């Protein structure tokens, strides 16, 4: 396959500011068609990016564009199950923006459809593809930090007005846990090498929201004895958005934002991380460029995908358990 032929369903901010500007510059990919329920938006976006065909019905697009190799699903979470299953039944491989679904039950149905139709689902966890994250992961995999026994990660970010649908449980499935928490859990869990989760303890708060939580603190105990804490909030009082991921091992530690890899050398603690001049904005942009490049390569048969649907299904299982723990006010085991 010289070029992967892709379509995009859902033309909100993430599609217009990130996916389309990146994908339309790739030499090994062609955006064949776009779709949005708002026909005028679909037409405008198609013309802006030089895309030949546009639709306001994903069913019509899937029927008409049978030569597509893959679909990027960028609709709000309420539509993930319907759009994803329809695309999988049309034998299209998927890149679904996070989270995969509103609930574990919906995620199970999506993954079952992928297995039935022998298609692949990748879920957009772009922070794994940050250059600094990939370097830290390589140090961990080479055992340079020893055994990782504790990690902590968090993201504090004000909710943009245009994303108000995230505060409606029927549309989003949950609040900040599904918006920011699942991203940091995925990143830290990936860093740790996917240890089996034993139990989850969580507290959620709704200070500025009614239907969903706007802040959450989560503690995960692993069967191998390691622990992970996650915090996420739309309402923490802070001067600016901030995210972090710190990993502590028996022979060193690593951090993202700021990027540090600390090891003891001759009784001195030394930062052995490669020097990086990338700004947070550049790291964010590169994370999506690397993610989309990886997905296109997988569509072309060059390598298997990472951040798979099966992994996302596990994350949704943990998210469901987070909500159970917060509701019950106690630790809940993962079965």
Q: For strand 227-233 and strand 268-271, is the pairing parallel, antiparallel, or unpaired?
A: unpaired
Mind listing the pLDDT tens digit for each residue in 118-136?
999 999 999 999 999 999 9
CATH number at residue 51: 3.40.50.720
> From CA 101, how far away is CA 173, in angstroms rounded?
8
Q: What is the pLDDT of residue 163?
A: 85
Q: What is the pLDDT of residue 327?
A: 97
Q: What is the pLDDT of residue 294?
A: 98
DSSP 308: B
Q: Please report, for residues 2, 73, 118, 123, the alpha-carbon distance to residue 302 in angstroms, rounded to integers and kept in the order given.
A: 11, 22, 17, 18
Q: What is the pLDDT of residue 276?
A: 85
| Angle in degrees, CA 284, 301, 317, rounded to 5 | 60
Number of domains in the chain: 2
List the structure tokens of 254: 């690593």
Burial (CB < 10 A; 0-12, 13-18, 19+), residue 149, is middle
Residue 29 clears pLDDT 80, i.e. is over it: yes
**For residues 72-77, average pLDDT:** 97
Range of the domain at 269: 127-289+314-333
95 and 202 both lie in a single domain: no
CATH number at residue 262: 3.30.360.10
Mind listing the pLDDT tens digit for each residue in 240-259?
889 999 999 999 999 999 99
Q: What is the pLDDT of residue 239?
A: 77
> From CA 328, how far away is CA 19, in angstroms rounded?
40
Mind listing the pLDDT tens digit for each residue in 166-218?
999 999 999 999 999 999 999 999 999 999 999 999 999 999 999 999 999 99
> From CA 114, how far away is CA 133, in angstroms rounded?
29
H or E segment at 89?
helix 80-89
Residue 335 clears pLDDT 90, i.e. is over it: no
**54 is a domain residue:** yes
106 and 156 both lie in a single domain: no
Residue 160 clears pLDDT 90, i.e. is over it: no
Residue 311 clears pLDDT 90, i.e. is over it: yes
57 and 196 both lie in a single domain: no
**For residues 47-65, average pLDDT:** 98
79 and 36 both lie in a single domain: yes
113 and 132 both lie in a single domain: no
Residue 332 pairs with which residues in a beta bridge?
Answer: 200
**For residues 84-98, average pLDDT:** 98
279 and 160 both lie in a single domain: yes
**112 is a domain residue:** yes
Q: What is the pLDDT of residue 59?
A: 98
The order of strands in the sheet holding 29-35 is: 53-55, 29-35, 4-9, 70-73, 93-97, 121-124
136 and 32 both lie in a single domain: no
DSSP 258: T
Residue 97 pairs with which residues in a beta bridge?
Answer: 124
**295 is a domain residue:** no
Q: Please report, for residues 75, 136, 146, 239, the alpha-carbon distance to residue 98 in angstroms, rounded to integers and kept in the order given.
A: 10, 23, 31, 26
139 and 102 both lie in a single domain: no
**For residues 313-319, average pLDDT:** 97
**294 is a domain residue:** no
Q: What is the pLDDT of residue 243?
A: 93
**For residues 328-334, average pLDDT:** 97
Q: Is 127 within 8 Å of 180 (Cβ atoms)?
A: no
Mind listing the pLDDT tens digit for each residue in 255-291?
999 999 999 888 889 999 999 889 989 999 999 999 9
84 and 157 both lie in a single domain: no
Mean pLDDT of the chain: 96
Burial (CB < 10 A; 0-12, 13-18, 19+), residue 210, is exposed
pTM of the complete model: 0.95
34 and 176 both lie in a single domain: no
99 and 131 both lie in a single domain: no
Q: For strand 29-35 and strand 53-55, is the pairing parallel, antiparallel, or unpaired?
A: parallel
**50 is a domain residue:** yes
200 and 259 both lie in a single domain: yes
Q: Please report, for residues 86, 219, 224, the alpha-carbon distance to residue 150 in angstroms, rounded to integers and kept in the order given.
A: 41, 11, 11
CB atoms within 10 A of CB 276: 13
**158 is a domain residue:** yes
**204 is a domain residue:** yes
> From CA 329, how far away is CA 315, in angstroms rounded?
21
Q: Is 251 within 8 Å of 145 (Cβ atoms)?
A: yes
Residue 1 clears pLDDT 80, i.e. is over it: no
In terms of Cα–Cα distance, which of 102, 320, 329, 321 is closest to 203?
329
């Amino acid at each position: 396959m010289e070029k992967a032929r892709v379509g995009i369903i859902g033309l909100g901010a993430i599609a217009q500011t990130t996916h389309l500007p990146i994908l339309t510059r790739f030499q090994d990919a062609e955006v064949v068609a776009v779709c949005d329920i708002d026909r005028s938006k679909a037409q405008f976006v198609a013309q802006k990016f030089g895309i030949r065909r546009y639709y306001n019905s994903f069913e019509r697009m899937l029927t008409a564009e049978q030569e597509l190799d893959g679909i990027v699903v960028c609709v709000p979470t309420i539509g993930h199950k319907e759009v994803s299953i329809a695309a999988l039944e049309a034998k299209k491989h998927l890149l679904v923006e996070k989270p995969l679904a509103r609930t574990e039950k919906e995620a199970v149905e999506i993954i079952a459809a992928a297995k039935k139709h022998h298609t692949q689902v990748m879920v957009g966890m772009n922070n794994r593809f940050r250059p600094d994250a990939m370097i830290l992961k390589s140090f961990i995999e080479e055992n340079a930090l020893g055994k990782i026994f504790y990690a902590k990660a968090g993201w504090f970010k004000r909710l943009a007005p245009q994303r108000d649908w995230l505060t409606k449980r029927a549309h989003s499935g949950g609040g900040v846990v599904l918006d920011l928490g699942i991203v940091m859990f995925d990143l830290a869990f990936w860093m740790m090498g996917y240890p089996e989760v034993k139990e989850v303890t969580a507290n959620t708060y709704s200070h500025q929201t009614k239907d969903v939580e706007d802040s959450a603190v989560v503690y995960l105990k692993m069967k191998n004895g390691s622990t992970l804490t996650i915090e996420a909030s739309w309402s923490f009082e802070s001067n600016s958005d901030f995210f972090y991921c710190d990993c502590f091992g028996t022979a060193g530690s690593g951090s993202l934002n700021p990027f540090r890899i600390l090891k003891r050398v001759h009784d001195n603690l030394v930062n052995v991380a490669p020097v990086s001049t990338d700004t947070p904005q550049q790291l964010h942009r590169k994370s999506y460029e690397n993610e989309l490049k990886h997905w296109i390569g997988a569509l072309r048969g060059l390598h298997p995908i990472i951040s798979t649907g099966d992994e996302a299904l596990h994350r949704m299982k943990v998210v469901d358990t987070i909500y159970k723990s917060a509701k019950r006010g106690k630790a809940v085991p993962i079965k």
